[in-house]
Amino acid sequence: MSVSYWAAVRTGLPHATMVVNHLYVVQLANKMLSTVRRPLRGRRRRAADPAWRAARPA
């Protein structure tokens, strides 16, 4: 699925049909979602987080 792989195949085999296994697409999407969610998950409900501290009733 990388750009360099697609370019190499297009150069060497210009009439080939490109196929990607859907399981790899889902796996890559899950990895990207995890990298986005992990930093947010660590900051929630911490006293060190200014947004959390401001939202707490005094």
Hey, CA dihedral for 9, 13, 14, 15, is it positive or negative? negative
pLDDT digits 0-9 by tens, 24-46 = 999 999 998 888 776 655 555 56
Between residues 19 and 52, the one the model is more confident about = 19
pLDDT digits 0-9 by tens, 8-23 = 999 999 999 988 899 9
Hey, CA dihedral for 9, 10, 16, 20, is it positive or negative? positive
Q: What is the pLDDT of residue 43?
A: 55
CA distance 43 to 32: 19
- C-alpha dist (Å) from residue 13 to 10, 17, 18, 37, 46: 5, 9, 10, 39, 55
Q: What is the pLDDT of residue 23?
A: 94
